[in-house]
């Protein structure tokens, strides 16, 4: 991924001597502060369509003044690097105070008010996404693969019904504090639009509520609900939204099992607790391991 990043930087005519790896999950995300850019490379050729989608979204976000990070200007995107694709974004240096769940609630409220974009956007499909991750997981054991695929099959009907009732609301799809950045002028904006789609707004609100239970972040959900103006745990669809979120939190790491022993250990811990029906077992964010 570092070699690919340097290839992209060279193609842009910028030096990458100060490049910093920010994240290594389904995307390799590198900041190049001296050039004022972030290079985001999808680590699987199967995610090429997502890169094209986020680039189109990035252009629209700028047009409508959305509370989101901006694409790097004057760059033809997406950028090809071998059989992978990259997107290039403006770099926002760390600016205190660090965004919190209250900021997330406010940003999501504004984001959900945008309405649908004037181009086709995928419908919320957590089951299809999970199946894609499982198919891309070469190191996944047969027993775990069967469990995840059975879980997907159980979710098919309920998710389809909820999607039918959801309308055309644009949702972020992976709303958590780690996907917030603060601009120099103080505004907090969202980033990472791989999962952005049309679906129920409760999907974005459920992420913090589930994270509070699994990661032990006491008070986070209450703060989010107060800032946004809605408590998703009182929603009739809350049990389904919770189940779907946990499926995403496990399946997302399936293609990465060979890349890190720590990620593999956390993946197997999560899947064991779900199999045991343990709703209170604590998990560790993949970013920490």
Over residues 185-208, the pLDDT tens digits come to: 999 999 999 999 999 999 999 999
Angle at 26 between CA 111 and CA 99, to 5 degrees: 40
Higher pLDDT, 118 or 219: 118
pLDDT of residue 97: 96
Q: Enumerate the β-bridge partners of residue 32.
A: 37
Over residues 159-195, the pLDDT tens digits come to: 999 998 877 789 999 999 989 999 999 999 999 999 9
CATH 3.30.200.20 in the chain, residue ranges: 2-90
| Mean pLDDT of the chain, nearest integer | 94
Q: Domain 2-90: which topology? A: Phosphorylase Kinase; domain 1 (3.30.200)
Q: Would the pLDDT of 52 be above 90?
A: yes
pLDDT of residue 44: 84
- Token readout for 280 is 């209170």
**How many CA atoms lie within 13 Å of 1's alpha carbon, on the beta-carbon side?**
21
In whole angstroms, give the CA distance from residue 213 to residue 220.
Answer: 10
pLDDT of residue 47: 82
Q: Would the pLDDT of 222 be above 80?
A: yes
Radius of gyration of the chain (CA): 19
pLDDT of residue 92: 97
Is-contact 88 38, C-beta < 8 A?
yes
Region 101-284: CATH code? 3.90.1200.10
How many beta carbons lie within 10 A of that of residue 167, not counting itself? 11
Q: Is the peptide bond prior to 56 cis by the omega test (within 30 degrees of 0)?
A: no
- Token readout for 150 is 């059975």
CATH 3.90.1200.10 in the chain, residue ranges: 101-284
pLDDT of residue 134: 96
pLDDT of residue 286: 86
SS3 of the chain:
CHHHHHHHHHHHCCCCCCCEEEEECCEEEEEEHHHCEEEEEECCHHHHHHHHHHHHHHHHHHHHCCCECCECCCCCCCEEECCEEEEEEECCCCCCCCCCHHHHHHHHHHHHCCCCCCCCCCECCHHHHHHHHHHCCCCCCHHHHHHHHHHHHHHHHHHHHHHHHHCCCEECCCCCHHHEEECCCCCEEECCCCCCEECCCHHHHHHHHHHHHHHCCCCHHHHHHHHHCCCHHHCCCHHHHHHHHHHHHHHCCHHHCCCCHHHHHHHHHHHHHHHCCCCCCCCCCHHHC
Query: How much of the chain, in percent, has pLDDT values that exceed 90?
Result: 86
pLDDT of residue 99: 97
pLDDT of residue 287: 79
Query: How much of the chain, in percent, has pLDDT values that exceed 70?
Result: 100
Res. 24 pLDDT band, cuts 50 70 90: confident
pLDDT of residue 217: 74
Distance of CA 89 to the CA centre of its chain: 16
Q: Would the pLDDT of 57 be above 90?
A: yes
Res. 98 pLDDT band, cuts 50 70 90: very high
* Highest-pLDDT range among 2-16, 216-230, 274-288: 2-16
Q: Would the pLDDT of 219 be above 90?
A: no
In whole angstroms, give the CA distance from residue 199 to residue 130.
Answer: 16
Over residues 110-149, the pLDDT tens digits come to: 999 998 999 999 999 999 999 988 998 999 999 999 999 9
pLDDT of residue 55: 98
In whole angstroms, give the CA distance from residue 79 to residue 199.
Answer: 29
């Amino acid at each position: 991924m570092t070699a690919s990043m340097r290839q992209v930087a060279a193609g842009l005519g910028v030096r990458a001597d100060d490049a910093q790896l920010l994240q290594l999950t389904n995307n390799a995300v590198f900041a190049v502060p001296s050039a004022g850019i972030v290079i985001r490379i999808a680590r699987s050729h199967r995610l090429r369509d997502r890169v094209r989608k986020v680039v189109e979204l990035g252009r629209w976000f700028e047009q409508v003044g959305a509370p989101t990070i901006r694409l790097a200007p004057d760059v033809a995107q997406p950028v090809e690097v071998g059989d992978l694709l990259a997107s290039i974004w403006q770099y926002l240096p760390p600016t205190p105070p660090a965004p919190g769940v209250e900021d997330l609630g406010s940003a999501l409220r504004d984001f959900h008010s945008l309405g649908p974009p004037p181009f086709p956007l995928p419908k919320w499909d957590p089951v299809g996404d999970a199946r894609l991750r499982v198919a891309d997981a070469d190191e996944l054991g047969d027993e775990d693969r069967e469990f995840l695929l059975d879980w997907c099959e159980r979710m098919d009907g309920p998710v389809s019904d909820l999607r039918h009732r959801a309308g055309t609301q644009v949702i972020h799809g992976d709303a958590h504090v780690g996907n917030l950045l603060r601009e120099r002028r103080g505004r907090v904006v969202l980033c990472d639009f791989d999962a952005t789609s049309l679906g129920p707004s409760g999907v974005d609100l459920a992420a913090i509520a589930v994270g509070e239970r699994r990661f032990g972040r006491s008070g986070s959900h209450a703060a989010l609900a107060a800032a946004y103006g809605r408590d998703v745990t009182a929603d009739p669809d809350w049990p389904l939204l919770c189940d779907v979120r946990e499926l995403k939190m496990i399946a997302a790491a399936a293609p990465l099992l060979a890349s890190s022993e720590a990620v593999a250990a956390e993946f197997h811990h999560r899947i064991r607790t779900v199999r045991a029906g343990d709703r209170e077992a604590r998990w560790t964010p993949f970013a920490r391991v």
